[in-house]
Amino acid sequence: MNILILSRKKTYYSTKRLVEEAKKLHHQPTILDPLTCPLYVKFRNPQSAIRNYDVVLPRIGTIGLEYSLLLLEQVRMQAEPQRSPAAYSGGIKVVNSPEAIGLVKNKFHCLQVLAKRHLPVPPTAMVREHTNIEKVIKQLDG
């Protein structure tokens, strides 16, 4: 299996570990910095330079987050059937969706979604101005 690991640096621990495990399983891992990958939009034909991979494993940080999420969306759009489902061959699979990655990169929004779905979250507050800090501390029982 040809695996593409999107990562800013080959030296990141998680990136190195993914490469090691992929090789142990006799897969062919490739590392690509997502910020170096051009995106193209043409009528009915979204494209990126990402081709000939079976799966994409995103290891996306906060630097260049918006661009990296656009890249993942582009890869996902390339994999969707363009004209008829009968001609669809499957395309490249993306392990984590752009929406999921965007959600977990915004910790407060993630807590909002978890709480809305009735999952326990730690008492958390966010303030825009420092003048509200005392009030928020009292609301969180100190």
Q: pLDDT tens track of the chain, all 142 residues?
A: 999 999 999 999 999 999 999 999 999 999 999 999 888 877 766 667 677 888 999 998 888 999 999 999 888 877 665 544 444 345 688 888 889 998 888 999 999 999 999 999 999 988 888 887 888 888 888 7
| pLDDT attached to residue 82 | 52
Regarding whether 126 and 80 lie in a shared domain, the answer is no
Report the distance separating Cα 126 and Cα 132, nearest Å.
10
Tokens 């661009």, residue? 67
| pLDDT attached to residue 83 | 47
Give residue-wise pLDDT tens across range 37-69. Answer: 888 877 766 667 677 888 999 998 888 999 999
Number of domains in the chain: 2
Regarding whether 62 and 122 lie in a shared domain, the answer is no
Regarding whether 93 and 27 lie in a shared domain, the answer is yes
| pLDDT attached to residue 33 | 94
Question: Could you tell me the CATH number of the domain that includes residue 34?
Answer: 3.40.50.20
| pLDDT attached to residue 88 | 37
Regarding whether 110 and 51 lie in a shared domain, the answer is no
Quote the domain boundaries for residue 56.
2-97
Regarding whether 121 and 82 lie in a shared domain, the answer is no
Q: Could you give the C-alpha distances from 16 to 25, 35, 82, in angstroms and in order?
A: 15, 19, 35
| pLDDT attached to residue 84 | 43
Instruction: Tokens for 138, please give them.
Output: 């009292």
Question: What single string gives the DSSP state of each residue in the chain?
Answer: -EEEEEES-TTSHHHHHHHHHHHHTT-EEEEE-GGG--EE--TT--EES--S-SEEEEE--STTHHHHHHHHHHHHHHHS-SS-GGG-----EESS-HHHHHHHHSHHHHHHHHHHTT---------SSGGGHHHHHHHTT-
Regarding whether 70 and 121 lie in a shared domain, the answer is no
Regarding whether 76 and 21 lie in a shared domain, the answer is yes
| pLDDT attached to residue 85 | 46
Report the distance separating Cα 113 and Cα 76, nearest Å.
24
Regarding whether 134 and 66 lie in a shared domain, the answer is no
Regarding whether 21 and 90 lie in a shared domain, the answer is yes
Regarding whether 110 and 58 lie in a shared domain, the answer is no
